[in-house]
Amino acid sequence: MATQETVEHKYVYDFAEGNRDLKDLLGGKGANLAEMTNLGLPVPPGFTITTEACQAYLTTGREPDGLAGQIEAHLESLEREMGRRLGDPGDPLLVSVRSGAKFSMPGMMETVLNVGLNDRSVIGLSTQAGGNDRFAWDSYRRLIQMFGKTVCEVPGEEFEHALDEAKHAKGTRNDLDLDADDLRGLVDAYKKIFAKHTGREFPQEPREQLDLAIRAVFDSWNAERAILYRRQERIPADLGTAVNVVSMVFGNLGPDSGTGVAFTRDPGSGAQGIYGDYLANAQGEDVVAGIRNTVPLQELEQLDKSSYDELLGIMARLEEHYKDLCDIEFTIERGKLWMLQTRVGKRTAAAAFVIAGQLVDEGLIDLDEALHRVNGAQLAQLMFPRFQLDHDVPPVAKGIGASPGAASGKVVFTSARAVELAAEGESVILVRRETNPDDLNGMIAAKGILTSRGGKTSHAAVVARGMGKTCVSGADELEVNVPAKKFTVGGHTVGEGDVVSIDGTTGKVYLGEVPVMPSEVVQYFEGSLDPEHIDNPLVRAVHRIMTHADAARRLRVRTNADTGADAARARRFGAEGIGLCRTEHMFLGDRRELVERLILAAGEREREDALAALLPLQRADFVEIFREMDGLPVTVRLIDPPLHEFLPPLEQLAVNVAVAQERGEDVAKEEALLSAVRRMHEENPMLGLRGVRLGLVIPGLFAMQVRAIAEAAVAVTRDGGTACPEIMVPLVGAVQELETVRAEAEKIIAEVVGDSGVEVLIGTMIEVPRAALTAGQIAEAAEFFSFGTNDLTQMAWGFSRDDVEGAFFWRYLELGIFGISPFESIDADGVGRLVRIAAEEGRAARPGLKLGVCGEHGGDPDSVHFFHEVGLDYVSCSPFRVPVARLEAGRAAVSTTGSDSR
């Protein structure tokens, strides 16, 4: 008879049970430790508690059933494998408890090392370490410090203070001068601090230490800085972290031990070679925290040739296996190499392109995969300006170019001040000795980050690279004095508010502001660099990947432009036409007065005069644009001004009239204007008389524009060019509106175009929800639709597009109502649904209906993927975003199974 067994949910995986594809479940660190274990690399044994366990804990506030038992079983098997028991007084097994989410969140969550040490096992550890008492007591004090701070929220400064006092008593500034007795004394001091803050003794029971540390790592998923980082990096809030319990290996057992971080290629430039930092006689955290200055990894060759050679072999193997740049953390314990972590490494935007190109050359990946390894946000970064190469400002210091870009700004020394000044619109450079995860707010607010300590792998460097923020680290000529709010360098003193410039590529630091120049990538797009004949690996890689993206993409990319100059630039950037020419932009400046006359015209005569004056101006505008876009479609949108933008402000006008009356001046004209403005005044102009409504209310306005477009097209064609105008009617909500405009337009077009061969399409924006919902009817009168996702978002959500982002979106983002403003990236579920409905019903009514988007979303990477998937024909965006849209359209078109370039 079959017995009924309940299968317990599996929450714990031995390293040998996992693999790199299980990142969702085991987190990045756990999945890669498993992968390395299975590759036979030297990984200290351990196990991983899954993200599901964390999710269950975070939702219910307690560990899920079965977890404790599974941890017990895996711990026992670990103990068997290591031949030691956790915290055994004679010969203790010690473990580290480390966080590890699906997406790397450097330094944002918690780690506790040396779990298993207590008053008795510290002696056993000393014996294990060959009678090294100093090492054992140092490890114990580190445990109390980390455990106290992380698990029990004891203020970290109290421990720092006690350590400083111990050093002071000894007359030294160096931790290494403290001997075993000093450290034993320090353990006592730490325990007192612990008891004072927690009301209990430091837990001596190893399993209790372990359980509390695991819980603390779970909790750290919701630490403030982790939440902030996730928001910044768009990492979903509900993933949770896995927890890795790993047997400890020690890099601080003497000069034949040490710890390091390495990259298989330069994460800054992408250049091939081995890059890394090594710190002898230290624990892993010391390197990442940037606390002591490291030596280049190459020096390990002299210190320990056999470990160095083994490491190089492993790095080559990992690259081959992962087919990508890997970063690695390792420890050497008395000449024995251990791999503590690997992952596909974060890199700068430039390195992402260069490496993707190299990997294609090396035959490790194909071009489709290369396209997946880069993204539009990275390309956008590469289009930022750099400092002029020939500027004559000498640098005052040189640190490590940790994250590229050029940044100038006012110096600030604290995260809080960075946030304050940035909120006032200032560019700031955050200067610190080293940064730590609590500086995250300031790093986000700053234009650039400058530190006097730490290498390419320090916290500041890693986080800045991830954010695409300019960073110079380890500029050790700087004497940074945070309390005094100043730093000194080469005889100069720089205080808060003084301007400095930093170059995140060269690592150079300048006083004052340094002039900038455009990026090579922009020069390439502008056509002034020939990619085939230039010795610049970045430009060559960008060219190659863009060429592939263009070949692969289905979406066309147009631009939003309303001047000849913008149209020309966009065309150089690869635009395949204009998707939105906002004609109201042509009525600013000198012409504003004509529009004002038109809107306020009292009689037919006045109106006709104003229109007659506008016609030739408009015609000339369109001729210029059609010439620049010769042979390509140009969508000209009929005027859509929010009226208030063209009229004098009511209050101001009323005051002027009152003052003039008081003075006894003749105010007849002003009074007429005032009464007209009063008549036209709207409480809510965005929902008022604009777009097609204005065209239907003011006779002759749209007719004048249609005539100007048609005449310009004919003129350009007669000159031998090819104009392909598409007339677009804004803010349509009902097919009758469009039909009315269309009937009048068709007559004018027929009359102007004659037998010139010019063809003019007439279509509409879909930007009012009702238009999306009646798209089937509207398509009967439209040859194309262009989605105006700015207004569509405004009206679908009922969010005023001019006000809400500054007013209260911060709260919505904080509450997770959305992860990013729906004005920035398409709200696929709501606004996107309207787009989908309109696309489907429009095409059902008129097969072959041309579909595009011209709202801001047309240049947003995630939105481009959405529009591809919905089946639009093109996206249209501002000129500078055209290359980004081309790249993302290519990425959307190639298989979506490739790696995520996050």
Which of these segments, 144-152, 165-173, 615-623, 785-793, binds ligand PEP (CB under 6 A)? 785-793
Cα distance between residue 708 and residue 583, in whole Å: 11
* Residue closer to ligand PEP (CB basis): 507 or 579: 579
Catalytic residue among 326, 471, 581, 854: 854
> Is 562 an interacting residue with respect to Mg ion (CB under 5 A)?
no
Is residue 791 near ligand PEP by the rule CB under 6 A?
A: yes
Closest CA to 345 of 226, 253, 456: 456
Catalytic, 854? Answer yes
Interaction residues for ligand PEP, span 826-885 (CB under 6 A): 854-855
| Residue 464 or 838 having the CB closest to ligand PEP | 838
- Is there a contact between 48 and 70 (Cβ–Cβ < 8 Å)? no
Question: What length does the chain have?
Answer: 902
**Given 790, 804, 840, 898, the residue binding ligand PEP (CB under 6 A):** 790
Q: Which of residues 585-644 bind ligand PEP (CB under 6 A)?
A: 640
Selected binder of ligand PEP within 270, 574, 788, 883 (CB under 6 A): 788
Start-to-end CA distance of the chain, whole Å, equals 52
Q: Strand, helix or coil at 682? A: coil
Burial environment of residue 644 by CB neighbours within 10 A (0 to 12, 13 to 18, 19 or more): middle
Tokens 């600030």 map to which residue? 412
Q: Is 724 a catalytic residue?
A: no
Choices 139-147, 270-278, 435-443, 782-790 (CB under 6 A): range interacting with ligand PEP: 782-790
Binding mask 788-827 for Mg ion (x = CB under 5 A): x--x------------------------------------
- CA distance linking residue 392 with residue 425, whole number of Å: 28
Closest distance of CB 642 from ligand PEP, Å: 9
Residues 670-701 as b/e (b if ≥16 CB within 10 A, e otherwise) read: beebbebbeebeeeebeebbbbbbbbbebebb
Binding span for ligand PEP by CB under 6 A among 369-377, 441-449, 454-462, 784-792: 784-792
Site residues for ligand PEP, window 274-313 (CB under 6 A)? none
∠ CA 329-335-341, rounded to 5°: 15
Give pairs for 521-527: CB < 8 Å, separation 24+.
521/379, 521/382, 521/383, 522/383, 525/383, 525/572, 525/573, 525/574, 525/883, 526/569, 526/572, 526/573, 527/572
Query: Out of 54, 74, 326, 459, which one is annotated catalytic?
Result: 459
Q: How far apart are CA 278 and CA 565, in angstroms?
A: 52
Contact 365, 541 (CB under 8 A): no
Least distance CB 790 / ligand PEP (angstroms):
3
Structure tokens given for 534: 């230039």
CB of 309 to ligand PEP, least distance (A): 60
Binding mask 740-779 for Mg ion (x = CB under 5 A): ---------------------------x------------
Q: Which is nearer to ligand PEP, 272 or 790 (CB)?
A: 790
d(CA 403, CA 319): 23
Q: CA 670 to CA 648: how far, in whole Å? A: 11
Q: What is the rounded (10 degree) CA torsion for 373, 378, 383, 384?
A: -150
CA 332, 337, 338 angle in degrees (round to 5)? Answer: 95
Q: From the list 446, 580, 709, 864, which residue makes contact with ligand PEP (rule: CB under 6 A)? A: 580
Q: Which of 292, 317, 398, 582 binds ligand PEP (CB under 6 A)?
A: 582
Residues touching Mg ion: how many (CB under 5 A)? Answer: 3
Q: How many CA atoms lie within 13 A of 456 on its CB side?
A: 30
Give which of Mg ion, ligand PEP, none residue 789 binds (C-beta under 5 to 8 Å, depending on kind). ligand PEP
Q: Is 856 in the site for Mg ion (CB under 5 A)?
A: no
Q: Cβ closer to Mg ion: 133 or 767?
A: 767
Q: Do residues 11 and 66 lie in contact, with contact meaning Cβ atoms separated by under 8 Å?
A: yes
240 conformational bin, left if phi > 0, alpha if psi -120 to 50, beta if neither: left
Name the minimum Å distance from CB 691 to Mg ion: 7
By C-beta, is 442 or 855 nearer to ligand PEP? 855
For residue 186, state whether it binds ligand PEP (rule: CB under 6 A). Answer: no
Instruction: Pick what 855 binds: ligand PEP, Mg ion, none; C-beta below 5 to 8 Å, kind-dependent.
Output: ligand PEP
Q: Catalytic positions, please?
A: 459, 854
Point out which residues bind ligand PEP (CB under 6 A): 580, 582, 640, 767, 788-791, 854-855
Residues lying near Mg ion in the complex (CB under 5 A) are found at 767, 788, 791
